[in-house]
């Protein structure tokens, strides 16, 4: 009897440590992350406007060496500026996006989960992020 309790406790603890509800499907880059980057980030983080020395148009570019260090540390959202900047208070000069309304909390959590799962960012067309066209 006691051992069941121990196993249950261990399972609960490991689920909590991941902060991911059991059964949550993995984050889909194309459906869930790309629209955030395309709609709110790439306008300032592209090959021409390389603000913060950061280009978010592809995996390869996003992982390029920067003097301020990497922005994505796969499996470690708490060390990933790409996630942390979304959680900073709006007054902070590093809070992102630098202009406009904040990213909704559920999308911030999706970003966190995506990095925790290993920041799977496909190559090629699926992984290529073009700025979303602004509505006229």
Q: Which of 70, 79, 97, 132 touches ligand HEC (CB under 6 A)?
A: 97
Q: Is 119 exposed, middle or buried (0-12, 13-18, 19+ CB in 10 A)?
A: buried
Shortest Å, Cβ 136 to ligand HEC: 19
Residues 33, 106: Cα–Cα separation, whole Å: 12
Q: Which of 41, 115, 119, 131 touches ligand HEC (CB under 6 A)?
A: 41
Q: Is 83 exposed, middle or buried (0-12, 13-18, 19+ CB in 10 A)?
A: buried
131 binds ligand HEC (CB under 6 A): no
Q: Which of 82, 115, 116, 119 touches ligand HEC (CB under 6 A)?
A: 82
Residues 9, 128: Cα–Cα separation, whole Å: 43
108 binds ligand HEC (CB under 6 A): no
22 binds ligand HEC (CB under 6 A): no
Number of residues binding to ligand HEC, judged by CB under 6 A: 20
């Amino acid at each position: 009897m006691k051992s069941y309790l121990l196993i249950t406790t261990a399972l609960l603890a490991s689920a909590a440590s991941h902060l991911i509800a059991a059964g949550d499907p993995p984050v889909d880059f194309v459906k869930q992350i790309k629209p955030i980057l395309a709609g709110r980030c790439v306008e300032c983080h592209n090959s021409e406007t390389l603000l913060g020395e950061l280009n978010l148009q592809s995996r390869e570019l996003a992982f390029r060496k920067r003097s301020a260090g990497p922005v994505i540390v796969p499996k470690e959202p708490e060390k990933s500026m790409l996630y942390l900047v979304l959680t900073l208070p709006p007054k902070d000069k590093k809070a992102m996006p630098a202009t406009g309304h904040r990213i909704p909390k559920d999308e911030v959590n999706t970003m966190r989960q995506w990095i925790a799962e290993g920041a799977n960012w496909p190559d090629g067309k699926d992984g290529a992020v073009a700025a979303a066209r602004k509505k006229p």
